[in-house]
Amino acid sequence: MITSEERAGHRSALTVMTWELWKRPLHWIVYTCSTIIAMLAFTGVFAASIAVDSSQVITCGLLAGLAIAQSEATRRIEHQRRRLSITPHVNMTSVWVLPGAFLLPPQLAALLVAVIYLHLGFRSWSGIRHVNPHRTVANATTMTLSSFAAWAVLQLSGDGSASVTSICVAAFAFFVVNTVLTGIGLYLAAPEKASAPACIGTWDDNILELSTLCLGGLVTAALTHQPALVLLVFLPLYVLQRSVLIKQLEELATTDQKTQLLNATTWQQGAVREVARAERENGQFGALMIDLDHFKSINDTYGHLAGDDVLKGVAALVKSETRTQDLAGRFGGEEFVVLLTASSKHESVAVAERIRQRISEMVIRTQDNEGNPVVIEQRTASVGVATYPLDGRTIDEVMASADASVYAAKRNGRNRVVSSPDLAAVADVAEMPLEAVAA
């Protein structure tokens, strides 16, 4: 006979086994559990060997209170920023964690991080969009180990007064450890989709984190000499968070969120400006229209998520094969467009051929709708090339020529680059039903 206690234990076991944690890759689970064990071990050693006085406890409570107050004041902004983030999210808790590394013994610094992230986790679960607890614990562990690194550097410097130099060096150690631990974790979470921006953030992300550490240094100085001045950090921090949110919203308005290329509207606006510049300077430019062949079969066979991964792969490829001053965008579906500034017909065709070749060599490792791993390769694309002013005096005329070239490429067997098709070929394509040449 099964007792009520046994039933409760069985239900508890089932609950544990259904945690989202166990759905993560095994290497990530091992890595994360190892960092947690290391953090707890260090904390235990510090607690057993370093004394704590009442003033340090008060400082810990003050920093925790300030962190929670700042989090509450900017909660809506942070929710929006987190929702829009596509790279590692910088939540700016370093402003309060770094002073803890300087002013507190390590065990209290760990307690400070625990309180801050406990509050963030509670707010996450009480909000509309929550973060899984294992992610909150992993982030808190990384911050704690980073604060330990900053504390260790400060001790090794032999400068107990926390001078400007020691603060800068320790803050840099905090930044490096935080970046490395976060990057390894994000890589192990999805190695098949790993990239430098996805794992360690963009330049803007890292500059933002360094900015929060600078504010953390100012908080340290204020608490050391004039504690009341720490209140002056709130307004700059609030403005910084709003500025980052505004930048994210601007990028959202101009960027195709699936591929991170320019969206159709923004690309068109940039192309119109390029026409005006080329006309004013008697210059030229090339335009490519890239259409993936038989793309619908990918969605039908593997699902739309696999199709999205192919689009992202092609977008990254196109970006790598074009220059910073070129305009690369997505026009919708499986169609991409590129404007090659100051490029002749010959140069534009060469770029188009290079892109076409690389697409045919592309290997995409992804999953189907059932979560089974699949490899998508040997895909092809039809590319149309047109140039200003040879093929048109407006962007609409240039793109119409490029579009006609794409259809000519599809009509003649796909997986090819076509430039300035002869009028007969274009006329033949124009007379065909759209279904006969569309991918």
- pTM for this prediction: 0.67
SS3 for 380? coil
Given this model, what pLDDT does residue 10 score?
A: 41
Given this model, what pLDDT does residue 293 score?
A: 94
pLDDT mean by block of 10 residues, the chain; 439 residues: 48 55 82 95 96 94 93 82 69 91 95 93 62 84 96 79 78 94 89 77 85 91 89 89 82 85 93 94 95 92 91 93 94 92 94 96 88 89 95 93 93 90 43 44
Residue 5: CA count within 13 A, CB half-sphere:
0
Q: Please spell the DSSP secondary structure of 180-248, one letter per residue.
A: HHHHHHHHHH-GGG--HHHHH--HHHHHHHHHHHHHHHHHHHHHHH-GGGGGGGHHHHHHHHHHHHHHH
Residue 416: CA count within 13 A, CB half-sphere:
12
| Dist. CA 99–CA 331, nearest whole Å | 48
Given this model, what pLDDT does residue 13 score?
A: 41
Given this model, what pLDDT does residue 384 score?
A: 95
Domains and CATH numbers, the chain: 4-254 (no CATH), 264-437 (3.30.70.270)
Long-range Cβ contacts of 233-239 (<8 Å, 24+ apart): 233/95, 234/69, 234/70, 234/73, 237/70, 237/74, 237/92, 237/95, 238/70, 238/73, 238/74, 238/77
Given this model, what pLDDT does residue 395 score?
A: 94
Given this model, what pLDDT does residue 161 score?
A: 56
Given this model, what pLDDT does residue 432 score?
A: 46
Catalytic (active-site) positions = 334
